[in-house]
Amino acid sequence: MSFLDRYASVLSQYDVLGAFWVNIQLTFWAAIGSFVLGCLLALMRISPIASLRGFGATYVQLLRNTPLTILMFIAVLGVWTQLQITLSGDFQQNFFNFAVVALSLYHAAFVCEAIRSGVNTVPVGQAEAARAIGLSFLPSARLIIFPQALRGSITPLGNTLIALTKNTTVATAASVAEASGLMKTMIEFNSDIVIAIFFTFAMCFVIIVIPMGLVTTWASRKWAVKR
């Protein structure tokens, strides 16, 4: 049997696309979760209330510096097994949901810092002008600061999204049947074509991630705030 025939027969035995579809779904939900949470954290970190600033800073330091794998284990072994909290009646869906929560909590710290870097691109005069016409903190953040800050943080947000996409492979630690888990199984039973299997999975990630980079570069130019 030639190498190509062997490769094709191995691929046909496993649902590689199905496994990647799980990674894409993890990315999608965790991107939404981490973006919303990251925005809230960024809001806390620039707020005039010291205790909120303190909470935001502590959250970022804690979550940014904890390995994602450990968060996955805490979610599944700690929260589910030990505390018996379930996020879904369905066995597989439960793991998936825990993985989304862990990914969201972890990447929210990076989203927060990306947005805060965007806030730093907004001149202080913008906030002063907003205050001067009588806008209090929340309206001026929502109407003036955040719209400009988000446009200034498209590139770092894109970087975080790319990291998130690749980090979904860690969900295998939370027993989610996704691409990297499948890869491990395939290698175990087909060690003669291990390089080809590695290469296949790597290329699939590259194909998913490259458009993200292109879109964020394009968007950061298109929506740049002209000053």
Partner 1 sequence: MSGVNKHFGDLHVLKDIDLTVHPGEVVVLIGPSGSGKSTLCRTINRLETIDEGEISIDGTPLPAEGKALAKLRSDVGMVFQAFNLFAHKSVLSNVMLGPMKVRGKSKKEAQDLAMALLEKVGVANQAHKLPAQLSGGQQQRVAIARALAMRPKVMLFDEPTSALDPEMINEVLDTMVALAKEGMTMIVVTHEMGFARKAAHRVIFLSDGQVVEESTPEEFFTNPQSDRAKDFLGKILNH
| CA dihedral sign of residues 160, 165, 171, 176 | positive
Distance CA 149, CA 114 (A): 9
Nearer Cβ to partner 1, position 134 or 211? Answer: 134
Cβ closer to partner 1: 15 or 128?
128
Site string for partner 1, 135-174 (x = CB under 8 A): xx--x---xx--xx--x-----------------------
Does residue 15 interact with partner 1 by CB under 8 A?
Answer: no
190-209 residues in contact with partner 1 (CB under 8 A) are none
Residue nearer to partner 1 on the CB measure, 86 or 126: 126
Restricting to residues 41-60, name those near partner 1 by CB under 8 A.
Answer: 48
Q: Could you write out the DSSP letters of every residue in the chain?
A: --HHHHHHHHHHHS-HHHHHHHHHHHHHHHHHHHHHHHHHHHHHHHSS-HHHHHHHHHHHHHHHTS-HHHHHHIIIIIIIIIT---S-SSHHHHHHHHHHHHHHHHHHHHHHHHHHHHHTTS-HHHHHHHHHTT--HHHHIIIIIHHHHHHHTHHHHHHHHHHHHHHGGGGGGGT---HHHHHHHHHHH-GGGHHHHHHHHHHHHHHHHHHHHHHHHHHHHHTPPP-
CB closer to partner 1, 32 vs 143: 143
Q: Does 221 bind partner 1 (CB under 8 A)?
A: no
Closest separation in Å from C-beta 155 to partner 1:
17
26-34, 125-133, 177-185, 208-216 -> range binding partner 1 (CB under 8 A): 125-133
Q: How far apart are CA 68 and CA 162, in angstroms?
A: 15
225 is a contact residue toward partner 1 (CB under 8 A): yes
Q: Which of 125, 191, 211, 222 binds partner 1 (CB under 8 A)?
A: 125
211 binds partner 1 (CB under 8 A): no
Q: Which of 18, 54, 78, 123 binds partner 1 (CB under 8 A)?
A: 123
Residue count at the site for partner 1 (CB under 8 A)? Answer: 22
Q: Which residues contact partner 1 by CB under 8 A?
A: 48, 123, 125-126, 128-136, 139, 143-144, 147-148, 151, 225-227
